[in-house]
């Protein structure tokens, strides 16, 4: 008794009562329509050329049909609850049930429901046919058999389509993760064929049988006597056509519209978009395929973001789009080298956590300034950073962007706990992947890199702490050149030729220029 009360409480808090009511109602309406069609719209006794005498059995046949209808309704309700109890148990304790079993059951319930309805209909019209034949009215037996058989086809298809639509919320929960099997429900082609049979095939067959029966003498009287029955079949075709078409249309159009909307969200950058999976045919495979594709896209984007944080966004993009190989190419670039001043002393006077926090705060500003000026951070070397302008993607006026980044960075780090020297140099380098086949990195190698490092050393002891050479300054645009002043020539460490230095002028004078 307690178990029955629990089941009843669950039914009242879910959409199962609606499901059971809709399924039972469609079958009851179909049964009443069939009885009315046979006894009223198709008065066999009046149209028969040789009417059989009425017997007590044939007189009570409508009452017997109504009695069986009540029994069939109770049986249909019991069978429906029997089908839904395993789903109810899964909803209450999802971890205690095999997900594949639940998935198969939920997607097969519409087929099972239609099969149960078809079985009850077959049993009913078989019983009515036998009783009519035993009662001596063979013509009535034939009419009952044919009409009931056609009605069984119509009601069975409508029951399936209706159950398939009502089961959608539960199919979404059962298929929340993935779905690969497209054989759990009839494919789209068969659904469309069943809809045609229900809305067109069966009514046409009924009309043809009426016309044939009237012309062959099975029905007595004129052609006008069967017009009410033909009109009823035509009306039934219209009604069932609208219902079946709407049901099959929603089963196809709804997921297509949902996929269309999801694609629109992805185009707007919403990569967390997913669609519900609730169909057991090819459409379910498409829904699951879209979700699988989005999972792959998110994973690819995540790899790209993480990869980009290590090697730079542009390097990561090219590595994912192309197959990187060892080797390089000559490129005209500008190099900006940043080195922290007094990092050893700072590390001795602070804890490792404080050192890491200060370096991260410092380099956060360095990265932001470099990216704003279209450069990339090629690598971090302890307390130093190497930025490249013009590789891997070519950049017009790379020297101008690098010099502007150096000036901006000088202002950006002013007042911070850590200070730095900044050196800028442009020239031809080899840019590419250096290392072994199993481990390599994108970098730039050339004299410009070495000069930038030497200029950084000198910049630490120069007012403003930013230096470049005259050759780099001359390769920049005129507006940028006006913001720098040329200094004396010096001999950089490791070089024999003199290098003329240049540093930014004061911001006020630069603004005036």
Contact status, residue 416 vs residue 362, Cβ threshold 8 Å: yes
> Model confidence over 344-357: pLDDT tens digits?
888 888 898 888 88
Does pLDDT of 4 surpass 50? no
Residues 464 and 365 in one domain: yes
How high does pLDDT run on average in the chain?
Answer: 78
Query: Residue 480 CA to chain centroid, in angstroms?
Result: 49
Mean pLDDT along residues 198-210? 82
Residue 197 included in any domain:
yes
Residues 227 and 362 in one domain: no
CA dist., res. 139 & res. 144, Å (int): 9
> Model confidence over 148-184: pLDDT tens digits?
888 888 888 888 888 877 777 777 766 665 555 555 6
Residue 298 included in any domain:
no
Residues 347 and 202 in one domain: no
Residues 333 and 451 in one domain: yes
Helices marked H in 202-312: 202-216, 227-267, 282-311
> Model confidence over 445-457: pLDDT tens digits?
888 889 999 999 9
Which residue, of 223, 240, 257, is where some domain finishes?
240
Residue 220 included in any domain:
yes
Which residue, of 206, 240, 274, is where some domain finishes?
240
Does pLDDT of 43 surpass 70? no
Residue 278 included in any domain:
no
CA dist., res. 207 & res. 266, Å (int): 52
With both helix axes pointing from N to C terminus, report the angle between 16-36 and 61-92 in degrees, rounded to the nearest 10: 160
With both helix axes pointing from N to C terminus, report the angle between 138-166 and 202-216 in degrees, rounded to the nearest 10: 170
The whole-number pLDDT of residue 49 equals 46
Query: In which band, very low, low, confident or very high, does the pLDDT at 1 lie, cut at 50, 70 and 90?
Result: very low
Contact status, residue 406 vs residue 430, Cβ threshold 8 Å: no
**What is the number of domains present in the chain?**
2
The whole-number pLDDT of residue 184 equals 62
Residues 233 and 367 in one domain: no
Look up the CATH number of the domain holding residue 461.
Answer: 3.30.70.1230
Kindly give, in sequence order, each residue whose CB lies less than 8 Å from that of residue 249, ignoring residues fewer than 6 positions away.
Answer: none
> Model confidence over 110-161: pLDDT tens digits?
888 888 888 888 888 888 788 777 766 677 778 878 888 888 888 888 888 8
Give, rounded to a whole angstrom, the gap between the first and last alpha carbons of the chain.
Answer: 94
Higher confidence at residue 417 or residue 64? 417
SS3 408: helix
Residue 157 included in any domain:
yes
CA dist., res. 108 & res. 132, Å (int): 36
Residue span of the structural domain in which 51 resides? 2-240
Residue 270 included in any domain:
no
Residue 84 included in any domain:
yes
Residue 317 included in any domain:
no
Which residue, of 204, 225, 240, is where some domain finishes?
240
Question: β-pairing, 440-445 with 466-469?
Answer: unpaired
Residues 225 and 76 in one domain: yes
């Amino acid at each position: 008794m307690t178990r029955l009360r629990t089941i009843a409480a669950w039914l009242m808090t879910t959409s199962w009562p609606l499901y059971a009511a809709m399924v039972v109602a469609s079958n009851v309406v179909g049964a009443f329509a069939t009885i009315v069609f046979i006894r009223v719209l198709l008065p066999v006794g009046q149209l028969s050329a040789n009417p059989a005498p009425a017997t007590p059995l044939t007189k009570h046949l409508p009452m017997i049909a109504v009695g069986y209808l009540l029994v069939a309704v109770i049986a249909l309700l019991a069978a429906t609850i029997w089908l839904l109890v395993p789903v109810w148990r899964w909803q209450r304790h999802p971890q205690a049930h095999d997900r594949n079993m639940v998935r198969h059951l939920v997607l097969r319930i519409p087929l099972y429901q239609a099969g149960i309805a078809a079985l009850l209909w077959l049993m009913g019209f078989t019983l009515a046919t036998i009783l009519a034949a035993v009662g001596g009215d063979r013509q009535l037996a034939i009419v009952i058999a044919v009409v009931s058989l056609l009605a069984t086809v119509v009601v069975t298809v409508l029951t399936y389509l209706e159950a398939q639509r009502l089961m959608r919320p539960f199919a979404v929960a059962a298929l929340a993760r993935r779905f690969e099997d497209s054989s759990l429900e009839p494919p789209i082609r068969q659904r469309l064929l069943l809809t045609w049979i229900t809305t067109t095939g069966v009514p046409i067959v009924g009309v043809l049988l009426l016309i044939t029966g009237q012309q062959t003498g099975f029905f007595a009287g004129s052609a006008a006597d069967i017009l009410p029955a033909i009109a009823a079949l035509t009306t039934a075709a219209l009604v069932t056509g609208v219902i079946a078409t709407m049901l099959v249309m929603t089963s196809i159009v709804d997921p297509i519209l949902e996929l269309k909307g999801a694609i629109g969200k992805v185009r707007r950058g919403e990569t967390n978009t997913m669609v519900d999976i609730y169909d057991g045919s090819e459409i379910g495979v498409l829904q699951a395929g879209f979700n699988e594709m989005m999972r792959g896209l998110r994973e690819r984007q995540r790899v790209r973001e993480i990869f980009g944080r290590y090697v730079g966004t542009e390097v990561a993009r090219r590595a994912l789009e192309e197959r990187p190989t060892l080797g390089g190419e000559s490129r005209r670039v500008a190099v900006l080298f940043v080195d922290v001043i007094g990092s050893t002393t700072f590390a001795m006077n602070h804890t490792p956590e404080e050192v890491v926090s200060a370096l991260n705060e410092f380099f956060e500003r360095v990265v932001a300034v470099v990216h704003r000026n279209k450069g990339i951070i090629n690598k971090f070397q302890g307390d130093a950073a190497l930025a490249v302008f013009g590789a891997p993607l070519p950049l017009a006026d790379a020297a101008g962007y690098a010099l502007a980044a150096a000036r901006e960075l000088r202002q950006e780090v002013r007042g911070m706990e850590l200070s730095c020297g900044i050196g800028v140099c442009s020239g031809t380098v080899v840019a590419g992947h250096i290392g072994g086949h199993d481990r390599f990195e994108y970098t730039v190698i050339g004299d410009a890199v070495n000069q930038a490092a030497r200029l950084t050393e000198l910049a630490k002891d120069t007012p403003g702490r930013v230096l470049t050479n005259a050759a780099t300054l001359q390769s920049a645009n005129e507006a940028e050149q006006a913001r720098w002043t040329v200094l004396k020539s010096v001999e950089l460490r490791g070089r024999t030729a003199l290098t003329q230095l240049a540093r930014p002028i004061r911001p006020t004078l630069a603004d005036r220029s």
